[in-house]
Structure 1
Amino acid sequence: METKMAADPEADKYYLEKEQITVDSDDEFQYEEVPVDEDFVAADLEEDLDAAVRTIRVSEEDAQATARKDGMSKPSVTQHPEVIDDFVRNFLVRIGLTRTLDCFQTEWYELQQRGLLHEEDIGVVPDIYMRNQNLDNEIKFLKRDVEKYKDAAMKAKETYVKLRKERDYHRMHHKRVVQEKNKLITDIKRLKRHYAQYEPTLQQLKKKYEVAMKEKMLSKLERDRAMGQVTGLQSTLKSMESFKGGSVTTQKANGQSRRGVPVDGTGYGPTQRMLVEERQKAMMDVKEFPQDYKRHPNDSEFPPDTGVNPYLNQAKALPGHLTRTGGFRLSNTFQAHSHPVSSLSLHPRKQILATSSDDHTWKMWSVPGGDIIMTGEGHMDWVSGCDFHPSGSKLATSSGDTTVKIWDFSKAECIHTFTDHTHAVWGCTWHSCGDFLASCSLDNTSKVWDLNSLRCRYTLRGHADSVNSIEFLPYSNTLLTSSADKTMSLWDARMGLCAQTFYGHLHSVNYATFNLKGDMVASCDSYGTAKVWDVRAVAPIVSFETGPHPANRVGFDPSGTVLAIASNDSTIKMYELSNGKLSSLVGHEDAVQCLLFDRSGEFLVSGGSDCTVRIWS
């Protein structure tokens, strides 16, 4: 292009710039073909293409909406035509011809002052020049965009190749895993078929073993009963021989020497003999009662509350090394149930343990070996508690099905079911005489049952929430209950009245128990707080924290110097009352639900939510 700079025809013509404009053609551009992976499915490509088209359309609609919004909110910019001298100046400034610009301006202003420039020479620049300049700028922008898109395409190509390699690797790995899985499934099916052949034999052997162990235990009970009768007959024979001798002094001496041991063929001790005599007198007096007397004729009489616990001397003589918290180590573990173990009870004279579980069953085991003896099935819901009869011939169980059942080992069946509770029953406990059973329930009450008349003698009302535990003080008519209303209460079982209430816990009391002497009570709550109370002062002696996990069960050792707490953090906390030392027994894999000490203090038994029973000795 060329521009005429002066009006004089004789003046020289100056060419500011001469440039050949080339037209880009799509035919000259070298396209690179992108190979298509044969593994791609046409349907997937069509879905990806449709998704890309939808995305582009949405982007365009958003851009148009944004443009309309900007157009409404901002005024448009009007571009005025550019005059020739400004166009030349901008051109010279853009390409850096400063000296030429000075010469141009000097000559331009001089001719303009002389009036030698015509109107058409100093007007606006023709549209063609402006259009060419805009096209030139657009070409530069497009070239930059092309370079940018080319770089992006190369990066996308590299990413695509990398992803395809990773896809091929993972596809191959997936095929290998599928092959291994199919092989394992085949092996498992083969093993199942193999072991299915042995399953009937194992079930038969298990049943035979349980029957044998049950017969063995029943034989031991019969032998003990026979030995008791033999001992009573021998004592009677000796007393008759001494009576024939006519020595009254000798009889008195023999009576004193046999104080506290059976002296007749019944096998009863002094307390039981006194109870039998009182019951016989009461039965003789029944005939003289009026016709409208409401007492059941088979009701049992509570024994006098003057009994002496025969285990007190044994507790005093307990060796010191057995009461130390550090002296207990895990000695045996056995899988007891298929669900959490909820309660434990030891036979009064034999090394036999009873367990109850959430699997609706109770079982008997020989300890510390862990051999199963008997299994009881009959409850319709989880079994919450169990307790051996003082004679060891029966077992009482409580359940979430609102019932309390009595099981007789000699008959190997349930002999009675108490159904007066209206909600789940949490626990049960036997009176030392064996004629009364107490239970506690979610219905906020406790009940005292008579085993002779098979009825509820008293309903203990007073707690404002669920009664979580209940326990008879050994050789006494005193009951201890703990409740979710954060209190504990002492009850007189002969009248069904509350004698005293302990206040001090800030959370639901999960369990409470006496020590062997009966002068202290230990309790634990749902926040892990444990307390030891003085029964006579009705005040706490010591309080300590084992939380924030709940404490489920608490128990004194026979000497009354060590307290064991079953915690929900899968440990057993051991607290020494003498020095306040707190330690932990670690072994359970889940929450510890129950524990108890052997009467001799030689070992500790615990059960938990991991379905196991563990023995610490």
Structure 2
Amino acid sequence: MATQQGTPSSALRVLEEALGMGLSAAGDTAEAVAAEGAYYLEQVTITEASEDDYEYEEIPDDNYSIPEGEEDLAKAVQMVQEQATDTQILEQKTVFSPKHTVPEAIEDFLCNFLIKMGMTRTLDCFQSEWYELIQKGITELRDGGIVPDVYTQNMLLENENKILKKDLKHYKQAADKAREDLLKTQKERDFHRMHHKRIVQEKNKLINDLKRLKLHYASYEPAIRVLHEKHHALLKQKMLTSLERDRAIGQISGLQETLKHMEIGHSYRAPEFRVVPTCKKENAPEGPTQKRLREAREQSKCKAKAKVNTKDSEFPTHMQPNPNLDLGKENLCPAKFDYKLNNIFRLHELPVSCIIMHPHKDLLVSCGEDRVWKMVGLPKGNVLLTGLGHTDWLSNCCFHPSGNKLATSSGDTTVKLWDVSKGNCILTFEGHTHAVWSCTWHSCGDFVASSSLDTTSKIWDVNSERCRYTLYGHTDSVNSIEFFPYSNTLLTGSADKSLSIWDARTGKCEQSLYGHMHSINDATFTPRGHMIASCDACGVTKLWDFRKLLPMVSIDVGPSPGNEVTFDSSGRVLAQASGNGVIHLLDLKSGQIHKLMGHESEAHTVIFSRDGETLFSGGSDGTIRTWS
């Protein structure tokens, strides 16, 4: 062992092994780091130094000699070969394998470790045994395997760099796309912002215009109010004048009859008293002959007219006073609000459109959209009579004041009169061009009025079986019509949002009431006749003072439509059938609203019994519900 260390070849080998140990240690470290998936870089500073700074260990040449004899010669040849081998190893350049691998020098690592730890005896034992195994060829230096070098790390880093460049390119494309979307969104935002500013400007302009219009309209309100008051005063004066004229005409006709009886036996006939308009007065006075000729012509005209319309009924001049006005508060039925659902009658297959009570008996008549009307006995609800004849749905019905006749209106544009005792149709009025919504009897029993979708109302003469007047004035469907109790005045409610009051004797509109903002579905008078109630398509109910022709109260129970309104016999409770199935009861004295909830669907009609103890309502499910 000492001899081998003293030879030059041994020294070269030691250097080679040291170099290999360093590379092996580096390789082991790199492999361990690679196995862990991380790398650590250290900054190493290399300084230039002269050859004098290095210290070389001198190897003594005392043992280097050529042996004598054959054995010595063989040993010498072996030594020369070893020197030649060492020379070739030194002259060879380090060539890396294609995979850039370096043999692992395990012994160098161990030697260095033992030297560092100062274990010289262990080092001597290890070197003697290790080199002995190498000389015998039992151990090879390359059995330790390969370790990764710097090139492998470079390749790994290069692959990772390629992957990162690919990801970077992908991220750049995504960033470009996001930038384009951002620009597009910013443009849209700017457009909508500008559009919003324009809308705000227009809104502010409209608000300013509305304010100016309100101020302008407010300036006209006092003048309009004064004109309305003058208009109402003139209408009242006109009504009073017409009444005085009717009384004067009646007095004149009575005086004429008296004069006729007094003229019997005289050859000369006294002229009749006539009311001559001031606009037709003549300057020249008429002589007796001219007067007789003119009176004869007038009598012939009157006779001709009488021959033509001998069956026409005359509107009563002196109406019977309303008996409800003579009733004191003590005789009125007490107001009732605590109604509870008592019974349900299923009378129709389709919705119920109208319910009315017989004026003298405990009978109820209902009309439905199944084209039939039925008379029901109370309180059991047994069907007594069924009326068939209309070809379309029934909209309304009304009893004759005596209770022996019934009028019905229908979507087939006709109004039919029925004999209640037999259930037969006795008369059909035809003249409307669209569906008829409502009908009503005059208190004298000789006239029937109807309202229609064709924007007109008609007054029918039952005796002459013809239309006496057609009422024009509404601009939309006329949904309801009703005679003022014991008078010649008619009330109509229309989809043009107005109420109109008509003189049935002339067919002219005397007054219009405005206040509703939606289509009026129904309007009615109180039993005493001093108040009007109306409801519209948005659930607003209004009360009007009929004497002053001014609105009194407005009640909003919407947004469901109000289909019908009716008063009880006392005139204190107002019931409204609503589109949401609720029956609203309004206490006119306290202003409280009570609700009756029992209909599963829309409530179309409602009516009180004569004594006010029972309430009847009809719904779209074809049923009639009794509340008591």
TM-score, with structure 2 as normaliser: 0.55
Return closer, same or farther for 1:98/1:600 CA change in 2, 3 Å cut-off.
Answer: closer
User: C-alpha separation between the residues in 2 aligned to 1:99 and 1:425?
Assistant: 99
2:16 aligns with one of 11, 22, 26: 11
Which deviations, in whole Å up to 9, do the C-alpha atoms of 1:485-531 show, x marking residues without a partner? 11111111111111111111111111110011111111111111111
Structure 2 unaligned spans of 5+: 1-11, 55-89, 102-147, 161-297
Query: What pairs with 1:275-286 in structure 2 (closer than 5 Å)?
Result: none
Return closer, same or farther for 1:286/1:98 CA change in 2, 3 Å cut-off.
Answer: closer
Query: What pairs with 1:177-326 in structure 2 (closer than 5 Å)?
Result: 289=302, 291=304, 296-313=309-326, 316-318=329-331, 322-326=334-338
- In the alignment, what sits opposite 2:257? none
Q: Deviation at 1:324?
A: 3.0
| Contact 2:332-2:570 at 8 Å conserved across structures | no
For the pair 1:536 / 2:476, whether they are aligned, the reply is no
Return closer, same or farther for 1:336/1:287 CA change in 2, 3 Å cut-off.
Answer: farther
2:446 aligns with one of 418, 429, 435: 435
1:332 aligns with one of 330, 337, 343: 343
User: C-alpha separation between the residues in 2 aligned to 1:543 and 1:596?
Assistant: 21
Q: Deviation at 1:616?
A: 2.1
Return closer, same or farther for 1:582/1:91 CA change in 2, 3 Å cut-off.
Answer: same
For the pair 1:449 / 2:448, whether they are aligned, the reply is no
For the pair 1:95 / 2:106, whether they are aligned, the reply is no
Q: Deviation at 1:470?
A: 0.5
| Contact 2:356-2:398 at 8 Å conserved across structures | yes
Q: Deviation at 1:291?
A: 4.2
Return closer, same or farther for 1:306/1:416 CA change in 2, 3 Å cut-off.
Answer: closer
Return closer, same or farther for 1:100/1:314 CA change in 2, 3 Å cut-off.
Answer: closer
For the pair 1:575 / 2:586, whether they are aligned, the reply is yes
| Contact 2:545-2:552 at 8 Å conserved across structures | yes
User: C-alpha separation between the residues in 2 aligned to 1:418 and 1:100?
Assistant: 112
- In the alignment, what sits opposite 1:358? 369
| Contact 2:480-2:493 at 8 Å conserved across structures | yes
Name the SS for the 1:289 alignment partner: helix
Which deviations, in whole Å up to 9, do the C-alpha atoms of 1:179-232 show, x marking residues without a partner? xxxxxxxxxxxxxxxxxxxxxxxxxxxxxxxxxxxxxxxxxxxxxxxxxxxxxx
- In the alignment, what sits opposite 2:408? 397
Return closer, same or farther for 1:576/1:120 CA change in 2, 3 Å cut-off.
Answer: same
User: C-alpha separation between the residues in 2 aligned to 1:422 and 1:11?
Assistant: 126
For the pair 1:551 / 2:562, whether they are aligned, the reply is yes
- In the alignment, what sits opposite 2:356? 345
Return closer, same or farther for 1:91/1:361 CA change in 2, 3 Å cut-off.
Answer: same
Structure 1 unaligned spans of 5+: 1-7, 18-84, 139-284
| Contact 1:389-1:395 at 8 Å conserved across structures | yes
User: C-alpha separation between the residues in 1 aligned to 2:576 and 2:532?
Assistant: 13
Return closer, same or farther for 1:486/1:90 CA change in 2, 3 Å cut-off.
Answer: farther
For the pair 1:499 / 2:510, whether they are aligned, the reply is yes
- In the alignment, what sits opposite 2:573? 562
Which deviations, in whole Å up to 9, do the C-alpha atoms of 1:291-330 show, x marking residues without a partner? 477953321111124321234445744456x31323x333
- In the alignment, what sits opposite 1:463? 474
Q: Deviation at 1:16?
A: 8.4
User: C-alpha separation between the residues in 2 aligned to 1:365 and 1:612?
Assistant: 13
User: C-alpha separation between the residues in 2 aligned to 1:515 and 1:357?
Assistant: 26
User: C-alpha separation between the residues in 2 aligned to 1:614 and 1:318?
Assistant: 28
Name the SS for the 1:462 alignment partner: coil
Which deviations, in whole Å up to 9, do the C-alpha atoms of 1:325-346 show, x marking residues without a partner? 23x3333221121111110111
**Matching residue's letter, 2:469:** Y
User: C-alpha separation between the residues in 2 aligned to 1:99 and 1:351?
Assistant: 108
| Contact 1:508-1:525 at 8 Å conserved across structures | yes
| Contact 1:466-1:483 at 8 Å conserved across structures | yes
- In the alignment, what sits opposite 1:600? 611
User: C-alpha separation between the residues in 2 aligned to 1:100 and 1:609?
Assistant: 89
Name the SS for the 1:530 alignment partner: strand
Query: What pairs with 1:165-180 in structure 2 (closer than 5 Å)?
Result: none
Query: What pairs with 1:509-520 in structure 2 (closer than 5 Å)?
Result: 509-520=520-531
TM-score, with structure 1 as normaliser: 0.56
Which deviations, in whole Å up to 9, do the C-alpha atoms of 1:553-606 show, x marking residues without a partner? 111111111111111121111111111111112222222111112233232221
User: C-alpha separation between the residues in 1 aligned to 2:612 and 2:371?
Assistant: 30
Which deviations, in whole Å up to 9, do the C-alpha atoms of 1:279-300 show, x marking residues without a partner? xxxxxx9997354779533211
Name the SS for the 2:544 alignment partner: strand
| Contact 1:334-1:614 at 8 Å conserved across structures | yes
| Contact 1:527-1:547 at 8 Å conserved across structures | yes
The CA RMSD measured in Å over matched residues stands at: 4.2
